[in-house]
Every structure is written in structure tokens, then in C-alpha cells.
A and B are shown apart, each in its own frame.
Chain A
């Protein structure tokens, strides 16, 4: 297995096929690191020539901008764009829908134009191109529900690619009542992840956890590190953490392929 940085590629005078943007959660959060590793295992198995930025990567600035701090957003974003443009990066894949959205939709106005793809769409295209094969055995007949993250779903209109991956796993997809355009937020977006809730009746992730439990699914497929944290917390609060597993789609693929 090889995990090279852009700097290493450059020193060899080579360019990777794609840059894997890891993001803060994927880099530092213990739970999200597992998703990062799972995704890298799949890239490796599919023989994708990818690179990471390593220490040259910074927060995209999504939470700062949504909290209203445009200064901090501009500082981190312009720094990232300098790095990305220096390496002449064209294609970026990321396992975080917030990074995906900011890189794709907000960096162009600042001078950063890249072809950005979320890892669920990327994995689906690898599957269609035959570079990735999934043997469904591990999930055959298992009930899986899918949680649309706001920034992949409603904001960027990607609903089908992740569902096609679930279909490829041979799992039985049980939709929640609030799915696709009506999907319910996990409660983390808009920089909520970094602060206490305002007073209310309950936390948003509990509301979503209850909906997940009502589907009878034993696995929740997600596509966002923050959703995974929020939904896992919700399961714990409902004392269901042993019964219902919250996983990123790449982790499910790793399980199915026994990587």
C-alpha cells in the first residue's frame, strides 16, 4: 500500500490521477479516520493513483463561513487555493460533503477551479467502469437505511450515486420517511458541530435517531463524518449503539470486500 503526498509526486516529476482531500474530520477525528482508511483501502484495491496533501492541507473554511466569519474563511480558503494551484490540481475527491461543497461551489469565486467529486459518486463511477467490484454476500438481504447528508443531497442534488452503491452491496434499502429532498439534517451543519444547542425540546440527532430506529434497519449508511458522529451519538442516547451500526458507505464496501 502506498499513500503519497502531492509533494512526493512532484519531486518525482509525476502527477496522480486524483487528489484525495481528507478534511479535518477525516484527518483528526478518531471515528472519521476509520472512514479515511477504508476509502484509501478501496482506492488501493482499485489501483487508483492518488495523492494527499498531508500537512499542506487546511480546513476548507466551511464552518467558519457558515458561522459568519468570512475573514477566517478567506484566509484558509486562499491558502488552500494557493497550494492546489501550485500543484496544478485538476481532480479532487473527498469523503466529506462539506469539503466537497466548499471546494466545488465556493472556491471558484476565489480563483480555485477544480473538478471536485464526492467519494460516493467516485466509488459509483469506479463501479460502473469496472475498476471496482463489490461482492454483495456480506449484506445480502440485510436491511440498510440511508441518511442523506444536507450538503450532498439537498444542496448538491446527489441522491442516487450512494443508493446505487447500497444496491451493489445487495442490501435491502429501507428509506426513512424524510429522505432525499426531504432528508432531515443530523444537526451538525452550519457550524452547529462546534457549539452547544440553543434551548429546545430535544437534539436534532435524537429526532433523526428515532426515525432510523423506526425503519428496523440494523445499519445506517452515511456519507459525511459529521453525520456519522451525530447519528452515533443519537444511537448511544437511545441505547441502540450495539444494535444499529452507523457506517460510511466506504466502510460497508470494505466489509463486503473483506479488505
Chain B
């Protein structure tokens, strides 16, 4: 076994171990949300995954970024073939393992990757310009300062490094195929490297060209592994989560807000429709709605981790468009950041995060007794929640079927049902519905219009 193979295996083992650890933390953070059974209708779910996640159907609404994104995405998919070869070569200490077996097909695959990588490179530069020079409105909203801005740019710089690696490796290889055909099997004519390689590297010492080839190869590999480990702290996580997120997305009508059976049954028993419910006087007063991530469903938190901060939701939000503070994207980012904060604190095992009650019982820190004195309302203000018109424009806009409306409504429920708070303007509407069955307190009969109409027609 060569030293190269040993280093390769070490790097892979370390990179994958750290990645697995961090991905399982994301999974744990998602599962901090409430259980919610989401299943059934597999046919429809497969169709959604194929069309919306794999086929990017919902991206088309904004066709310029759709085409640019598609070129990076397709390049990413195709490059996986090259990545498999890199893995095989690295493990077994061979070079371009597939080349002799696939022949012309190999040339076709590598050529496709080259063309797609070039398109992806162009798209990457345009994306950088859109974010930093053109200042597309949805990329410069208040929530996009600091880390989100840097994150977006780092991903794009990473893409550039990936493509650079490929062209260094292939370009040098083309030159080496002529210098040392025994060790460098022919790849056939490659549309970019067969031109660029000889242009840049012809005439250089063979050892330098070999070094360039190795640097390209390692650069590509290291950036791929870097990406793998970067995903858990980045919006780029959508490249994985988009698929399960679309799979688990709601299939029932958008118009149906999740029913609350506990309240329905209480009202039914009040109305005498079902036998009176046993009330446990010892039990704590129930809390309704969502105060923190623990009260959201796991799917709401998965939504948050699937968000790639594209801002299509906020760009069509009527409240946001007219200068209100509400930005659906920020709601998702806040849920994600809060889940990450709770997860990080849980990892410390610090007893200061155990609730008072738990401390009294000498409990170890768990998600059940967690209390850091904060909650989602420290991230999301009431002003934001109150501005939502439930128009579903954000739901329609999201390319990975995130539903920003659900957490907003769950937090409104907490405010109104548990805290008896919320906009005071709503109180007359609530009491009027309760007392007179109408949204407005009106002294007239509900069918006065009918009597008027009959009179008008006499």
C-alpha cells in the first residue's frame, strides 16, 4: 500500500466520521419537534419527489435563476460518476480505473462532465454577481446580512474550486497521456481539457505536470469532503434535505389548517355532542400552539433545515412587499437557528439548561427538561406573526415545498389560546362570533337583505 493510499483512506475516514456525527445532530434537532405521522399515498409522494425535488419543477417560475441553478445541479449529478472513480482510484492506488474498460463511453462521460462543469462555472459567476453586484432585492433583505451572505458566497467559491480541480486534473492528464502513456490511459479527446491542458502545461517538466494533476485531484476531493462537512452548518444542506422534505410535504388541501382534536372534543363535550370528558384536576393547564421548537412538528423543523434562503417566499409575500417586518424566509431561518441553538446546548449536557423542576429532581439534561429561559418568540416577533394574510403565496413559491404558514399559525395559536394575547383589534371579532354568530356585532337579522330584496322586487 502506497503512502498516497494511506493518506487517502485516513482523509476519507476522518471526513466521513465527522460528517456522520454532524448529520446525526441535524437529525436529532429535527426530531426535537413533535411527532407527526406523515405517510400514505406513496404514488403521489414519489411523483412529487421526481417532479419537484429531482425535476425542479417549481424553479421554473423564475426562469433565469432556474436555468443557472439547473446547470450547477446537473453538473453536480454527473460529477458523481467522476467522484466514484476518484474513490476507486484513491482506495486501490490506480489511475482512471474506468478509462480502459469504458473506452468511448468514458470519453463521452468525461466530456459531458467538462461541458456541464463549464456551464456550472459560468452560472456560478453569474450567481456571485447577482448576490454581490446586481443586489437582487431578495438577497439583500435584513435577514441576509452577516453569516447568510457569507454562506451564500462561500458555497459559490467552493463551486469554483471544485471545477478548477477538475480542469487541473484533466488538463494535466491529457498532457501526461502523451508523455507517459503506460501510466496514463487515454481518455480520448476532451472538449475543454484537451485544448486547455496542452495550452497551459505543454513543455513543462513531467514531474511538475504530475504534481499539477495530483493537486487538481486532491483539490477536487478535499473540496467535496469539505462541502460534505460544511453542509450541516449551511443553507446548502438543501441538496440533501430537499428530497425527504418534498416526500413528506403535505398532500391535503392547502386550505385546511391542522385540526386541534383536543379543543374540538372539549367544545363537543360542552355542546353535549359527546359525553363529558374526565377532567384531571391535578394535570397542568394545557398549552396550545407553539412557543418553541418543541411544540412545532418535526416536519416544520425539517422545513427550516431544508431552506436554502433563496427568498422566493419573501419576494412574493404581500406583507413583505409593502414594507412590513414579516419575511417568511426569516421565520424559517429563525426556527433553524433556534433548533441549532437548543441542539448545541443539549450537547454540552450543562445542568444550567435543566429546568428548575428537573434540577429539583436531580435530572440530567434532556430535551424533555430543557429550559434555557428562551423560546421562539425571542427570535420571531409578534409583529411579524400578526402581519400574515395566510395568502399562501410563500407556500406556492417554495421550490422545495416548505410551508412557512404552519409555524406562523401555530405561534398565533400560542399567543391567542395560551397567552390570551394577540392583536386587541381581534377581540371584538372573537366575541361577536361567539355571541352573535357573525364577525360583526350587528343588531339586524341575518336575512334582512332577503326581505329588502323581496320588497325591492315587488
A positions within 8 Å CB-CB of B: 1, 3, 5, 22, 24-29, 33, 36-37, 40-41, 52, 54-55, 57-59, 61, 63-72, 74-76, 78-79, 82, 101-102, 104-106, 109-110, 150-151, 154-156, 181-182, 184-185, 187-192, 194-204, 206-207
**Is the beta-carbon distance between A204 and B442 smaller than 8 angstroms?**
no
| Bound-complex Cα distance A204 to B390 (A) | 13
Of B44-52, B122-130, B319-327, B368-376, the stretch lying at the interface with chain A is B319-327
Q: Looking at chain A's contact residues, is the secondary structure mostly helix, strand, loop, or mixed? A: helix
Q: Which of A22, A70, A154, A206 contacts B413 (CB 8 A)?
A: A70
- Residues in B with CB closer than 8 Å to A151 are 255
**Is the beta-carbon distance between A27 and B449 smaller than 8 angstroms?**
yes
| Bound-complex Cα distance A172 to B113 (A) | 50
Residue B284 is within 8 A (CB to CB) of chain A in the complex: no
| Bound-complex Cα distance A87 to B52 (A) | 43
**Is the beta-carbon distance between A106 and B257 smaller than 8 angstroms?**
yes
| Bound-complex Cα distance A204 to B316 (A) | 12
Q: Which residue of A lies closest to B323 (CB)?
A: A201
**Is the beta-carbon distance between A207 and B321 smaller than 8 angstroms?**
yes
- Residues in B with CB closer than 8 Å to A67 are 412, 416, 422-423, 426, 429-430
**Is the beta-carbon distance between A66 and B257 smaller than 8 angstroms?**
yes
**Is the beta-carbon distance between A106 and B457 smaller than 8 angstroms?**
no
Of B4-12, B166-174, B433-441, the stretch lying at the interface with chain A is B433-441
- Residues in B with CB closer than 8 Å to A181 are 61, 396
- Residues in B with CB closer than 8 Å to A66 are 257, 390, 409, 412
**Is the beta-carbon distance between B438 and A58 smaller than 8 angstroms?**
yes
Sort A-B residue pairs by CB-CB distance and give the 10 closest, nearest first.
A201-B323, A68-B412, A58-B437, A190-B390, A195-B425, A200-B323, A185-B391, A68-B416, A105-B255, A150-B391
**Is the beta-carbon distance between A79 and B449 smaller than 8 angstroms?**
no
**Is the beta-carbon distance between B454 and A202 smaller than 8 angstroms?**
no
**Is the beta-carbon distance between B322 and A201 smaller than 8 angstroms?**
yes
**Is the beta-carbon distance between A71 and B263 smaller than 8 angstroms?**
yes
Question: Which residues of B295-341 are within 8 A (CB) of A?
Answer: 316, 318-319, 321-326
Residue B393 is within 8 A (CB to CB) of chain A in the complex: yes
Chain B window 271-297, contacts with chain A (Cβ cutoff 8 Å), 1 for yes, 0 for no: 101000000000000001100000000
Residue B264 is within 8 A (CB to CB) of chain A in the complex: yes
Q: Which residue of A lies closest to B324 (CB)?
A: A200
- Residues in B with CB closer than 8 Å to A54 are 445-447, 450
**Is the beta-carbon distance between B273 and A78 smaller than 8 angstroms?**
yes
Q: Which residue of B lies closest to A188 (CB)?
A: B389
12 more CB-based (< 8 A) A-B contacts, given A3-B447, A182-B396, A184-B321: A1-B454, A33-B449, A54-B450, A55-B445, A69-B430, A79-B437, A109-B256, A154-B392, A154-B395, A156-B253, A181-B61, A197-B324
**Is the beta-carbon distance between A189 and B390 smaller than 8 angstroms?**
yes
Cβ distance A97 to chain B, nearest Cβ, rounded Å: 9
Residue B36 is within 8 A (CB to CB) of chain A in the complex: no
**16 A–B contact pairs at CB < 8 A?**
A27-B447, A54-B450, A69-B426, A70-B263, A72-B430, A74-B264, A76-B434, A82-B273, A104-B255, A150-B393, A156-B253, A182-B61, A184-B321, A192-B387, A198-B325, A200-B322
